[in-house]
Amino acid sequence: MAPFSKSRPREKKSGSPTASPAPAFFSGDFYWLWAIFFLSFLGFLTTLCPCFMDDDSPETITAGVTLGLAHPPGYPLDALVNRLLSLVPLGDPGFRVNWGSALFAAFGALLAALNLKLLVVKFFPGRGETKNLGPWLASAGLFLAFSKTYWEKAVSAKGGLYITEMLFLMATLFCLLKLESPDSGKGPREKWALLVFFLTGLALAHYWETQVIFMPGLVLFFALREGGLLGTAAFWTRTFRRLSLAAVGLSVFALYLPLRAQLHPVLNLGDPRTWTLFKLTARRAYVAGSEPVLPEKIWEALRGAIPWSQVHTLWFQITHLQNVEISVHLWTDIGWVGLLLSAAGLFAWWRRGARGSLLFLAVSGACLLLVFYTILIIPLDVRNRWYLDNFLLPSNWALAILAGLGLWVLRPHLTGSIPRRVLGAALLVFLPLQQWLLNHAVSDEQNQMLRYDYGENLMKSAPRNAIFFSEGDEDFFPLYYFQNVAHQRPDLRVIPPFTLFETWGVEEVEYFHPELGLTAAQVDFPDHFARIIYSLSEIVAKNRDKDVCAFSYLPGALHKYYCDLRPRLTARRSGIALWLNYPAARRARPLDPSQLRTRHWEDCPSNAHFSMMRIAWVYEQVGLLKLNASP
């Protein structure tokens, strides 16, 4: 029976049941496909982070374990998935969620290979026996698995969020290819279309910022395939049914965030308890100032609100920073051989059919580039290119599939004589092997304990019943994890000062720590700055005689809106924390830095990552390291 046949012969009835044959889809390549999964999964496990890295991983894990909220837009589906992963009996919750990221990433490599198989079998007849496609699938799948950014995301909890989004997108492409398959009937095609819309709704509930970039490509695919956006009554009935399934998937977002904001307000960054706050959370309004948008600046300049020089400056920053970094990402993650093969695969795909699916990828890629040409996403420091790598991750799997296709169309020139076979085998091995050799060392997180130990050192540096003002994510997220997941130091009152800019942040402190005596929620303030100054002053003034007010070395809101307003104020050193020099701090005994630990500082490659430099700078201030790092 030919692969992907439309129908299968019925089994003859007999007195004893007979085993069902393996699905035709996997015939000839079954073991190769699962080899992709297990090899990539093994590679990820050998480099898996044992706890959490210096990103949003502690927050991501905690939001899942406690079924709480992450920072806007909340990532509800990710929280639900991580909750299930936290129940797996493997290590501690942090390791379990990291393990889940590796598992999903391995499935992603398998799914990329399945897309390539479907594309070749359905749209490239006459290119040789497809039953020998396995090695070509393995080369493309492992090429994706061991690419730099994909591997980096596969070994941490926060990276799992990006990986899961890639699974949705690759599954969507698979469904689109099935829709375009020449031997699919009307009924099966509609089922695949319904699945596309359901996956789209789930993906929007998971990480809408990436999924929305792929929406124009989806709309164009169905509009061209079904004769336009307007049609018969049957068209509208079908569309209503599809959109209903999309709404079912999206309902996770609309129901989870307000519900958890009411029932479990552990970290309501945005606090979507009302419609207004829900909208602010959904669109991540809190980053509006840090991610300037070019069209908005042009509109403000046209109205005379800002000078045109600001528009020119923003355009210069976007083109001269992000343009270069896009090229760097493609060069480091895909390589020149992969890019050449991707170009060959793109050309072959266009000539052989399935142009609707190809158009979906092309339009989505154009929309992705449009975002980078209109929004300044990365901070103005080239060392922060990992911000851009996160958002460019969709290009990795698309180019990996194209590269695998480009390698396949070269197959007639890589078979036959012994020299051709040797060259073909070399190319098949070269793609994944190059990725492994280049990226294994930089992706190895098995000794990454810096952020974990930093959180433990912070707890050691604060006496019992202290009030700790966490000045940055480096401080707050580890303490958030230790208190809510590991259930350590419940006596420590952790206050993130940056939340005191907002009314909901003040309300949270008053709700969880009424003993601090904060009353700012009942006061009307002219602006955010007056609110945080009042809140910090009231908390310290009412508690400085009985409890130590500790804070981190990292410059933040307490430094700026409390300490800097009191030039004569001094602080005592304790471990890697500072204590405001008030009566309670004078009575307590500080911690000597020699009692702290920094495991695996010398033998973990990612410690040199720029995101770790703020922690390294703190250790330098207390004499544990000498790196001349900067905060």
Predicted confidence (pLDDT) per residue in 418-437, tens digit? 777 788 788 888 889 999 99
Q: Which of 291, 290, 311, 288 is nearest to 299 (CA)?
A: 311
Q: How confident is the model at residue 380 (pLDDT cuts 50, 70, 90)?
A: low
Is it the case that residue 482 has pLDDT exceeding 70?
A: yes
Residue 43 clears pLDDT 50, i.e. is over it: yes
Q: What is the pLDDT of residues 350-363, one digit of tens each?
A: 888 778 899 999 99
In this prediction, residues 44-63 reach a mean pLDDT of 90
CB contact set of 446 (below 8 Å; sequence gap of 6+): 46, 47, 48, 49, 50
- Checking if the pLDDT of 127 tops 60, the result is no
What does the block give as tokens for 49? 């982070």
Residue position matching structure tokens 């701090």 = 585
CB 157 within 8 A of CB 54: no
Q: What is the pLDDT of residues 134-186, one digit of tens each?
A: 888 999 999 999 999 999 999 999 999 999 999 999 999 999 999 888 776 56
Is residue 328 pLDDT above 90, yes or no? no
The strand pairing partners of 68, in sequence order, are none
Long-range contacts of 565-571 (CB under 8 A, 24+ apart): 565/533
Confidence of residue 287 (pLDDT cuts 50, 70, 90): low
Q: Scanning the structure block, which residue is given the tokens 């992709």?
A: 36
Rounded CA gap, 480 and 494, in Å? Answer: 8
Terminal-to-terminal C-alpha distance of the chain: 65
| pLDDT at position 460 | 94
Q: What is the pLDDT of residues 289-321, one digit of tens each?
A: 667 888 888 988 888 888 888 888 888 888 877
Residues 414 and 427: beta-carbon distance below 8 Å: yes
pLDDT at 22: 40
Whether 350 and 211 have beta carbons less than 8 Å apart is answered as no
Query: In a 10 Å sphere around its CB, with 0-12 CB exposed, 13-18 middle and 19+ buried, how is residue 307 labelled?
Result: exposed
CB-based burial, 346-378: b 16+ in 10 Å, e otherwise: bebbeebbbbbbbbbbbbbbeebbebbebbbbb
Q: Specify whether the backbone of 623 is left (phi greater than 0), alpha (psi in -120 to 50) or beta.
A: left
Per-residue pLDDT, 52? 87
Residue 592: what are its φ and ψ, rounded to 5°?
Answer: -75, 135
Query: What phi and psi, each to the nearest 5 degrees, are found at residue 619?
Result: -65, -30
Among 203, 259, 247, which Cα is nearest to 75's? 203
pTM, 2 dp:
0.88
**Average pLDDT of the residues in 250-279:** 78
Give the model's pLDDT for residue 18.
Answer: 46
Confidence of residue 400 (pLDDT cuts 50, 70, 90): very high
Binning the chain into helix, strand and coil, the percentages to the nearest 5 are 65, 5, 30
Q: What is the mean pLDDT of residues 81-100?
A: 93
Whether pLDDT at 209 is above 80: yes
Cα distances from 151 to residues 145, 444, 590, in angstroms, run: 6, 9, 42
pLDDT in tens, 238-248: 888 888 989 99
Give me the residue label for tokens 């350590």: 488
DSSP 262-284: HH--S--SS-TTSHHHHHHHHTT
Residues 6+ apart with CB under 8 A from 415: 128, 421, 424
**pLDDT score, position 17:** 45
